[in-house]
């Protein structure tokens, strides 16, 4: 069952329809690197976090410069 979520892309949140039911599956579907941090609604979450319709999702890749927002 597809879910509509909003993913941080560039300067804002873009609605995407995804088949993933949790963050681990979303990493695979959107090619989010395993070492990156993912937040839903402003809170960091683990790969087992279940997604809900309308969730605001952001991914940040950690690096020596403090990190960068991933474009997915």
Q: Each residue of 23-50: b (16+ CB within 10 Å) or e? A: bbebbeebebeeebebbbeeeebeeebe
What ranges make up the beta strands (E) of 1-72? Answer: 3-9, 12-18, 37-40, 43-44, 56-61, 68-69
Q: Return the domain boundaries, the chain.
A: 3-69
**Angle at the Cα of 44 from the Cα atoms of 62 and 8, rounded to 5 degrees:** 70
* 3-69: CATH topology: Ubiquitin-like (UB roll) (3.10.20)
Phi, psi of 66 (to 5 degrees): 105, -10
Q: Output the pTM of the full model.
A: 0.84
pLDDT digits (tens, 9 = 90+) for 3-59: 999 999 888 999 999 999 999 999 999 999 988 999 999 999 999 999 999 999 999
């Amino acid at each position: 069952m597809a879910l509509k979520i909003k993913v941080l892309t560039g300067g804002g949140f873009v609605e995407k329809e995804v088949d993933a039911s949790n963050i681990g599956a979303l990493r695979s579907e959107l090619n989010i690197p395993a070492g990156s941090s993912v937040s839903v609604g402003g809170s960091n979450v683990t790969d087992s976090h279940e997604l809900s319709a309308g969730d605001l999702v952001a991914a940040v890749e950690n690096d020596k410069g403090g990190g960068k927002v991933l474009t997915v």
